[in-house]
Chains A and B, each alone.
Chain A
Amino acid sequence: MKYALRIALPKGRLFEETLEFFKSKGILEETFEEGRRLQVRVGDYEFLLVKPFDVPVYVENGVADLGVVGYDVLLEREPEVYELYDLGIGFCRLVIAGKEERLEQYRKASFLRVATKYPKITREFFLEKGIKTKVIYLHGSVELAPLLNLSDVIMDLVQTGRTLKENNLVVFEEISSSTARLICNRASYRNKKDEIFSFLSKVQRERPKEAIQPHPRAT
C-alpha cells in the first residue's frame, strides 16, 4: 500500500522532541530511534530522516509533502513552502555571542568578523544596523571561532546556553527566537488536501494534560 503522506523530519536537536510531540497528539503510537535508516514507514506515513537544513529542500521540491523544521532554517533559506503551523516545541534563540571582555568593542564596532551557520540572517541583521561584516561560514562548533580569534563574535542558535557558558561566551544580543514549524509543499496542499488537513487537525488537537511540558525558555 502506498503511504498517504511523506514527512521530512530533522535529525538531531529537534528529532526526539518532534516524535514525542507526534506521539502526544496520537499521530504516532510509538516513537522510533534516530538510527541508520533514512526512510521509516509507520502506518499511513513515511518519514524521511534528513539534516535540518535539508528539510525545506525536500518539501519545496515536493519529494516530501510535509516537514518539521526550525524557524531558524526558514529564516535562513526562505523556501517557497507553506508554513502551516507552529508546533511550539524546540524553543531556542538566535543570538550574537562573544567573549565578555569584547562586549564594549562589539558595541562600538563598525566592522565585525562573524562566524556562523546562518550567513544570510547574519548579513541582513548587520546590514540593517549599518555594520560591515565579514561572514565566516562554518558547519558546526561555531563557539570555537572567537576563542581562537577566527572571528570577533558568533551568530548561533542557543537552547540552554550551556555550550556558550562552557566556552566562556556570553550573549550580546538576541536576533530572533525559533520554534519548530510544520511546513507543507504547495502542490501537496492542493493535491492531497484531505490528508494534509487531517494531519493538521491532529496537530491542533489539545494535548492530554500529563504530556504538556513547560518551555525550556531561558531568560
Chain B
Amino acid sequence: MARQIPEGERFFNFEDAQKLKRSFLLACELFEDYQFVQLPTLEVYSPESWGLSPFLIGTQTNRNILALRSDWTLSLMRFLNSLREVQLPLRVFYWGPVFSPKEMERFQMGIELIGVPFPEGEYEVIKRLVDYLKAMGLEGLSVILGHTQIVKGLCKDEDAKERLRKKNFYGLREEDPLYHLLRAYGGEKVLEEFSERFKEYSSQCEELRHLGSLLREAGVKVFYDLSEVRLQEYYTGIVFEVFHPEVGYPVAGGGRYDGLFLSSKAVGGAVYLDLLLEVL
C-alpha cells in the first residue's frame, strides 16, 4: 500500500518544532506570575457548554460522547467550575493545541485574567501578549480594538454579521448602521464620529478610547475597527486582534467575557502559534 499523509495532517519539521519549544519556554519565563494550567485534551461532550464545531471522536462504554478540546477558555471554565474554591484575581496561562474538524490541530499560547475589571484587565492581557510576541522577535505589530456590545446591538441577524466578517460594503445605504460600522475603522477620529451618530453607544466608545490611550502610552500601536467580529459567542465587551504586517490572519486575539465563570469579570487572549511559524 502506498504511504499517504492524510489531508489536513501536519508534520512539524525539526526547525518548526524547535520554534514551538521556544514559544513554550518563553511563555514560562514571561508569564512567571501566571499559573500554568494543564487541561485534558479529551473532554466529555455536552452541546450546551460547547463552542464552535466540536471535534467528536467517539463514545465511552457509559455512552458519554467524547470530543477533543476546541477552545481553551471554555475548557478552563469547566475546570474552574470543578474547583471548590477559586482565589480571585486569578491569572493563568496555557500552551497547547485546540482541535476543530476544519482546521484539525492549532497551537495556541494564551492567558486568562479572571476577576479584573475594565480597563486593567484588557490592558494587562493585550500588553502582555504584545510583549510576548515582541520577545519572540516580531516587529511592526498593530492591535485592532472592537466592541461586542456595539456589534451585537447593531447586527440584527446572522446575515449582518456575515457582512461584517467579509467587510462587504456593497449596497449599504447611509441609513444602515452596518454602513457606519464598516467605516468606523481607523484612529480616534472614527470613534468620535461614530459615537456622535450613535449616542446610545457613547459609553462603549469611551471605553475603547480610554483603553486605546492607555495602550498607546505603553508604546502599542492601536487602531479601532468597530466591525470586528469574533467567532466565539461568549465575548461581552471589548475584543481585540493583533496583526503582523506579513501575515494575512490575526496572529493573536481575545476579549472580555464577563459572567462565563460564575459572575466574574474576565479577559483572555491567545497567540496563534502555528500561523507565526513562517515569520519567526
Binding site for B on A (CB under 8 A): 60-62, 80, 82-86, 184-187, 189-191, 193, 200, 204
Contact = CB atoms under 8 A, between A and B. Distances in A.
A191 B170 contact: no
Contacts of B170: 84-86
Given A83-B167, A85-B169, A193 B186 contact: yes
B168 A83 contact: yes
A84 B168 contact: yes
A186 B186 contact: no
Contact of B248 (A80, A83, A85, A200): A80
A204 B169 contact: yes
Nearest to A197: B185
Interface stretch (B83-91, B112-120, B239-247, B263-271): B239-247
A186 B166 contact: no
Contact of A80 (B142, B243, B246, B249): B249
A189 B166 CA distance: 11
A185 B144 CA distance: 16
B137 interface: no
B219 interface: no
A60 B249 CA distance: 10
B245 A191 contact: yes
27 contacts: A62-B246, A62-B248, A80-B248, A82-B166, A82-B168, A83-B166, A83-B167, A83-B168, A84-B167, A84-B169, A85-B168, A85-B169, A86-B168, A184-B167, A185-B248, A186-B248, A187-B244, A187-B245, A187-B246, A187-B247, A187-B248, A187-B249, A189-B167, A190-B243, A193-B185, A193-B186, A204-B169
A14 B81 CA distance: 57
A65 to B, nearest CB: 11
Given A62-B248, A84-B169, A204-B169, 14 more contacts: A80-B248, A80-B249, A82-B166, A83-B167, A84-B168, A85-B168, A184-B167, A186-B249, A187-B246, A189-B167, A190-B142, A190-B243, A191-B142, A193-B186
Interface residues of B, number: 18
A55 B170 CA distance: 20
Contact of A187 (B168, B223, B243): B243
A85 B163 CA distance: 11
Nearest to A192: B245
B171 interface: yes
Nearest to B162: A83
Interface in B134-170: 142, 144, 166-170
A60 B248 CA distance: 7
A80 B231 CA distance: 14
B169 A200 contact: yes
Contacts of B142: 190-191
